[in-house]
Amino acid sequence: MSYLTQYPGVGPKTAACVAMFTLGRDDIFPVDTHIYRVGKRLGWVPTTRTREQAQEDLESLIPNPLHYPMHLLMIRHGREVCSAQVPRCEACKLADLGCPSAKSNQTAGHSSQRRTVHDGSGDAMINPKRLDQKKDIQDETEHKET
């Protein structure tokens, strides 16, 4: 990774993307703005962590075989459902599974207005280590790529 980041304009995220997508490394989990936001809202990443620290957190939290499909799904989820300004918690499949951010928004009575963001403290309700739906995740990723 340090070899790639020595070049101007190549930061940790770009280097991690090259490692994952070009070199097939499954021990890497690139973190962009969408993954960073979703990770914080799910309680997987404390809000005090930087993106680089969040990458370390998520690499150790999410099982290696799930890095690639979870990377794609978290970006898509962050773009389409868990957006920055007005997340659509009412349309989120993770809300019923215990997403702390959706739960705090529901308790606060938010609907389609700007939502509060879970602060990332405490235990996450959704544990990525217990993702028994590996096949479902891969099927969903393959379906969207075609």
Active site residues: 13
**81 to each of 24, 60, 89, 109, how far by Cα in Å?**
28, 25, 7, 18
Q: Yes or no: say if 69 and 137 are a contact pair by the CB < 8 Å rule.
A: yes
Please state, in angstroms and rounded to a whole number, the distance separating the CA atoms of residues 74 and 120. Answer: 16
Please state, in angstroms and rounded to a whole number, the distance separating the CA atoms of residues 51 and 37. Answer: 10
Please state, in angstroms and rounded to a whole number, the distance separating the CA atoms of residues 38 and 56. Answer: 15
Please state, in angstroms and rounded to a whole number, the distance separating the CA atoms of residues 133 and 143. Answer: 15
Q: Yes or no: say if 119 and 100 are a contact pair by the CB < 8 Å rule.
A: no
Structure tokens at 3: 């070899």
Task: Report which residue type is found at 7.
Answer: Y
